[in-house]
Chain A
Amino acid sequence: MKPNQYFGRMSRRDFLKLAGGGLLAVSGMGLLRKAISPDSIAFAQDEAPDKVFAATDGWIYLPPLPTASPYHPDDLSPDPSLFTTYMFGFRDVTGMTDDQILNQKMKAQHTAPMFWMSEGQQFRLELRNLGLQMRPDLTDAHTVHFHGFKNAIPFFDGEPSSSVSVPMNRSFTYIYRPHDPGTYMFHCHVEDVEHVQMGMTGLVFVRPSQGDHFVFNDGDGSTAFDREFGMMLSEMWVDSHWADSHIQLPEWSDYNPDFSMMNGRVYPDTIAPNGQGYDANGDLIAPDGNPSLQYQPISSLVNCNAGEKVLLRFANLGFMQDSMTLEGIQMHVVGKDATFLRNGSTDNSYLTNTIVIGAGESFDAIFTAPAHSGVGAYDTYLLYNRNFSRSHSIGDFGAGKQMTEIRVHPAGTLPAQTEPNT
């Protein structure tokens, strides 16, 4: 189409850094010199990555199971009072120094950092593989697979058998030129059943050229929203996580997840606040009052004002179907799998209370916050997976479940949203 529209960003630091790397690469490429001319490499070096992700292992917190399990909490936890479950994951290390980045080994998070890009704007995502501290016997590579990206070339697709993957202490930059707005997901595709189950999953979306407060280029404002929340759905089968920390192999055909999660947490942790960025060492700062959620920084709490349109971006990278019910408010489903539900002049969008989401599917659903009841500071509505058997409860209804709260405040109470999931 028009590749030139994508070139633009430049930083002197990266120019110098990459120029050195480019020389090394060219000298080592031999036959490849024919494939990529040095001139074009020099041109490409001008751009800094928009995001830098680190891939490594780590520990997160999940509540006790209703029945005792030898696999949970994991007996190898570095601090059983805080963390229960060994995992692999990504971290956003954009803007950190190299020292800070290297400090993040065994400090991965779940789910992965949510990120977004704009239709028609080139996006550069650098992946750095920091290795797996708990498993020095493993030399796993990692990748980023942008799940659902249309007309991808294998080079940037991240499926290791048909492309390249990133060994330990190496990096690779993925280039995305998004043409299709909507909600997607990403994950590491190396030994995918293991790396996905271990937690290397996240949500990514593409904003339309029509504007940041629309889901699609609808032409009539029908996908407008005031606030947006990513709802990344995932699962954890504690047997397989224990197996990984103990140098064992799980039998995958016995897969039976113990936890179904929203943005990497289960209720009521889902409504705890977001994390608070990173400290001088680059380590995550835990959500206020929730030290055990240090590596699960993404909140699923939906705060909104009466009358506002709220977009829920669902994506499922568990292996099971989730049946997400919003009790008491209709959802208007406007997109599926990053496709606007309109064909020509035919409107295929629909209203529902329950969205069934298979593995690898995404849904864009907008609800209009109802009027405030006048009682209390806000009205609470529940959004949960109504497949109750899939998420364990430890006593009272809710604890341990794939569930969050939607809090509707009187009109005009909350200021405009500045970031998703805030």
Chain B
Amino acid sequence: MQKHFHLQPQKMIAVFFVLALMVSMIPSGNLTAGAQGPLTDGMVCTNGPSFTLTSKSGYIGTPDGNVVYMWGFSSGSDPYQYPGPVLCVTQGDTVTIVVHNTLNRKISLIFPGQENVLADGQPDGPEFSGSNLVSLARTAAASGGTVTYSFVAQRPGTYIYQSGTETDIQVPMGLFGALVVRPAGHPDWMYDSASTAFDPNREYITLLSEVDPALSTAMERNRTFKARNYHPRYWFINGRGLPDTLAPNFASWLPSQPYGGLVRITPYHPTLNPLPAAVRYLSVGSIDYPFHPHGNNVRVVGRDGNLLASPTLDDLAYDKYSIPVGPGQAWDTLFTWQDPEAYSLDNPVPVTFPNILDLFFGTFFSGSPYLGSQGALPVGTTVQNQCGEFYHIAHNHALYQLTSWGAVMTGMGTYTRIDPPTGCP
């Protein structure tokens, strides 16, 4: 019923520049934002093991054109961002996180999946006021308080850090982020097993979240909010809704939403491109998100910081086309794609390509069935395809969450971009 794909003209232009930018800035191996400049796609690590997280308020943009008041953590004195930085450490590191709180309420952090967490040097635990539980972890006082958490990162995997105070408000308001623990000596493995090796140029995180703008408005106006009225209207990947998920990391037009959601690969090849991409799925939402990447199954190799292996180290990894990422869960997956038919100009698809005026063409379609080739398009078609690369959507299959307060084909979705084996020229 609605228009084909809700890209406003400005966003069309933006996406075009994104794609142009991507070609010129293919990541070269170091996934850390730093000396080599920001990555256009891929997981952006903030490297530890010592971190300073400052809680702040700010605003994010949503695909329907709305602007929503939010909270979040930023590294040190960085400006407001949503979600918080991806904290990257190595197994065995003693991780120290100093929390500075600029919000006008008490906050804290919990680290589900970590053990023996210390707060200000003491064993961390729930905070009580008299006999009333007020926080799941030691708090930083409102408006300027500080608390320091530390723990030893025991197990490789993907984890969440999030507020442990007023969790029904503070987590959906944005006080969360991801923690990635790499196996010692193997930064290019997801777990301590060669079966989880991935291409270090192809490491991605897909952190799923949701927002209720009524909650945001209540917080912005210092009003109370009844948790039973909670009703999310926006669904995000790495803090952005489709089509913003396709924009590069640190896109200037998304100043407080620095992390993109595009997964970018080239076809599997046994010798030239043998390693899969790593995609780390995480959710801070309130219900399961049944995430469905088109194009191929994912290989699930780990869950919640545990390698999928038996006690005798039999490989228990499995393939799946829908990943039901539950609240607080992490699914560590590997992803590859190849065309087993090897369709090409010389080995064409066994079907008549209809007259181009007899089809609708998608904005990411090259006009050709073949990877790396481009075909004719009807006059006037706006195409966001550079060199015949493929795109496969990856989205939440609870499709009402692939919307943004009513705007369809936005929300919790992104694309997997498959470049020709030699890349885009």
A307 to B398, CA, bound (A): 38
A interface footprint on B156-180 (CB within 8 Å = 1, 0 otherwise): 0000000000000000000000000
With a CB–CB cut-off of 8 A, which chain A residues contact B393?
Answer: 159, 161-162
Q: How far is the CA of A359 from the CA of B402 in the complex (A)?
A: 13
A364–B269 CA distance with the chains assembled, in angstroms: 31
> A35 to B399, Cβ gap below 8 A?
no
Q: A336-B320, A337-B321, A343-B318 are in contact. Are A44 and B341 (CB under 8 A)?
A: no
Known: A148-B297, A164-B362. A358 touches B322 (CB 8 A): yes
In the complex, the chain B residue whose C-beta lies closest to that of A6 is: B350
Contact B316 A193 (CB under 8 A): no
On whether the beta carbons of A252 and B337 are closer than 8 Å, the reply is no
Whole-angstrom distance between the Cβ of A107 and the nearest chain B Cβ: 20
Instruction: Decide if B314 touches A343 in the complex (CB within 8 Å).
Output: yes
Bound-complex Cα distance A29 to B200 (A): 42
A64 at the interface (CB under 8 A from B): no
B296–A150 contact, CB under 8 A? yes
Q: Which of A47, A160, A244, A253 contacts B4 (CB 8 A)?
A: A160
Please, how many angstroms separate the alpha-carbon atoms of A22 and B354 in the complex?
8
Task: Identify A339's interface contact among B319, B363, B370, CB under 8 A.
Answer: B319
Kindly provide the distance from the CB of A119 to the nearest chain B CB, expressed in whole angstroms: 12
Q: Beta-carbon contacts of B285-309 to A below 8 Å, as 1s and 0s?
A: 0001010101111000000000000
Cβ contacts under 8 Å, B324 to chain A: 321, 358, 361
Q: Which of B19-27, B185-193, B405-413 lies at the binding interface? A: B405-413
* Complex alpha-carbon distance, A320 and B400, angstroms: 10
Q: Which of A40, A157, A161, A173 contacts B295 (CB 8 A)?
A: A157
- B-side interface size class: 35 or more
B111 on interface, CB distance cutoff 8 Å: no
**A-contact 0/1 string along B313-331, CB 8 Å cutoff:** 0111111111010000000
Task: Pick the contact of A153: B231, B339, B357, B415 (CB < 8 A).
Answer: B339
Known: A153-B390, A163-B365. A191 touches B352 (CB 8 A): no
**A-chain residues with CB within 8 Å of residue B295 when the two chains form the complex:** 151-152, 154, 157
Chain B residues near A191 (CB-CB < 8 A): 1-2, 4, 408-409
A67 at the interface (CB under 8 A from B): no
Partner of B375, one of A28, A31, A173: A31
Question: CA separation between A21 and B231, bound complex, in Å?
Answer: 51
Whether A164 pairs with B365 at a CB distance below 8 angstroms is yes
B272 at the interface (CB under 8 A from A): no
The answer, yes or no, to whether B347 is at the interface (CB within 8 Å) is yes
Q: Cβ of B371: which chain A residues have Cβ within 8 Å of it? A: 153
- Give the docked Cα–Cα distance between A321 and B396 (Å): 13
Q: Does A140 contact B (CB under 8 A)?
A: yes
A348 to B316: give the CA distance in the assembly, Å: 8
C-alpha spacing A417/B297, complex, angstroms: 32
Q: B290 and A358: CB pair below 8 A? A: yes
Which chain A residue shows the least CB distance to B369?
Answer: A155
- Considering only residues 362-389 of chain B, those with a C-beta below 8 Å from chain A are 362-365, 367-371, 373, 375-376
**CB < 8 Å neighbour of B415 from A160, A162, A346:** A162
The yes or no answer to A378 lying at the interface (CB within 8 A) is no
Question: What residue of chain B has the Cβ atom nearest to residue A126's Cβ?
Answer: B351
Query: A318 — nearest CB in chain B belongs to which residue?
Result: B398
A18 to B403, CA, bound (A): 40
B358 to chain A, nearest CB (A): 5
Residue A136 is within 8 A (CB to CB) of chain B in the complex: no
Residue in B321, B348, B351 whose beta carbon sits within 8 Å of that of A338 in the complex: B321
At the interface, yes or no: A170 with Cβ under 8 Å from chain B? yes
Of the candidates B353, B401, B403, which one forms a contact with A25 in the assembled complex, judged by CB atoms under 8 Å apart? B353
Contacts of B364 in A (CB 8 A): 161-162
- Chain A residues with CB under 8 Å of B420's CB are none
Distance (whole angstroms) from the CB of B372 to the closest CB of chain A: 11
Q: Are B1 and A172 in contact (CB under 8 A)?
A: no
Closest B residue to A132 by beta carbon equals: B1
Between A44, A47, A160, A249, the greatest number of chain B beta carbons within 10 A of the residue's beta carbon is seen for A160
Interface flags, A150-188, vs B, CB<8A=1, else 0 = 111111110111111111001111010101000000000
Known: A35-B345, A193-B403. A359 touches B397 (CB 8 A): yes
B343 touches A252 (CB 8 A): no
A37 to B292: give the CA distance in the assembly, Å: 35
Query: With A29-B376, A164-B361, A344-B315 given, is the CB distance from A37 to B322 under 8 Å?
Result: no
Is B357 touching A28 in the complex (CB atoms < 8 A)?
A: yes
Q: How far is the CB of A259 from chain B (nearest CB, A)?
A: 16
Q: Which of B339, B392, B409 contacts A192 (CB 8 A)?
A: B409
In this complex, the interface size class of chain A, counting residues with CB under 8 Å from chain B, is 35 or more
Instruction: Provide the residues of chain B in CB contact with A159, threshold 8 Å.
Output: 294, 362, 392-393
Given the known inter-chain contacts A28-B357, A164-B361, please indicate yes or no for A151 contacting B350, CB distance below 8 A.
no
Query: Does residue B349 face the partner (Cβ distance < 8 Å to A)?
Result: yes
CB of A82 within 8 A of chain B?
Answer: no
Is B338 in the interface zone, CB < 8 Å from A?
yes
A319 and B362 in contact (CB under 8 A), knowing A172-B354, A337-B321?
no
Q: Is A3 an interface residue (CB 8 A)?
A: yes
B233 at the interface (CB under 8 A from A): yes
- Cβ A151 vs Cβ B353 within 8 A: no
Taking the closest CB of chain B, its distance from the CB of A162, in whole angstroms, is 4
A32 and B340 in contact, given A147-B321, A360-B322 (Cβ under 8 angstroms):
no
> In the complex where A157-B392, A159-B393 touch, is A170 in contact with B322 (Cβ < 8 A)?
no
Judge if B391 is at the interface, Cβ distance under 8 Å: yes
A45 within 8 A of B: yes
Give chain A interface residues in 221-259, CB to chain B under 8 Å. Answer: 244, 249, 251-253, 255
A28 near B356 with CB under 8 A, answer: yes
Q: Is the Cβ of B360 less than 8 Å from the Cβ of A193?
A: no
A7 on the B face (CB < 8 A): yes
Query: A173 to chain B: which residues have CB within 8 Å?
Result: 351-352
B361 touches A193 (CB 8 A): no
Q: Which of A37, A157, A175, A255 contacts B351 (CB 8 A)?
A: A175
Contact check, A361 vs B1: say whether CB atoms are below 8 A apart: no
User: Are B362 and A337 within 8 A (Cβ)?
Assistant: no
Q: Are A44 and B351 in contact (CB under 8 A)?
A: yes
* Cβ contact within 8 Å between A161 and B5: yes
Shortest distance between the CB of A147 and any CB in chain B (Å): 7
Assembly CA distance A124 to B353 (angstroms) = 14
Given A192-B402, A337-B322, A41-B352 contact (CB < 8 Å): yes
Closest A-chain residue to B376, C-beta based?
A31
Contact B290 A361 (CB under 8 A): yes
Q: Is residue B232 within 8 Å, beta carbon to beta carbon, of the partner chain? A: yes
* Interface status of A138 (Cβ within 8 A of chain B): yes
Q: Are B348 and A124 touching (Cβ within 8 A)?
A: no
CB neighbors of B among A345-360 (8 A)? 345-346, 348, 358-360
Nearest to A29 among chain B residues (CB) is: B376
What's the Cα separation between A338 and B367 when bound, in Å? Answer: 31
Extra 8 A-B pairs, beta carbons < 8 Å, given A3-B342, A151-B337: A34-B345, A152-B296, A152-B392, A249-B2, A253-B231, A344-B314, A344-B315, A346-B316
Please list 22 pairs of residues, one from A and one from B, whose beta carbons are closer than 8 Å in the complex, sorted by A's number.
A21-B352, A31-B376, A40-B348, A41-B353, A45-B352, A140-B1, A141-B4, A154-B295, A159-B393, A161-B409, A162-B365, A173-B352, A177-B341, A190-B4, A193-B402, A252-B403, A253-B400, A337-B321, A339-B297, A343-B316, A358-B288, A358-B290
Residues of chain A having any CB pair with chain B under 8 Å: 1, 3, 6-7, 18, 21-22, 24-25, 28-32, 34-37, 40-41, 43-45, 47, 122, 124, 135, 138, 140-141, 145, 147-148, 150-157, 159-167, 170-173, 175, 177, 179, 190-194, 196-197, 244, 249, 251-253, 255, 319-321, 336-339, 341, 343-346, 348, 358-361
Q: What 9 A-B pairs are tightest by C-beta distance, nearest first? A: A360-B397, A155-B369, A255-B400, A31-B376, A358-B290, A162-B391, A148-B321, A193-B399, A358-B324
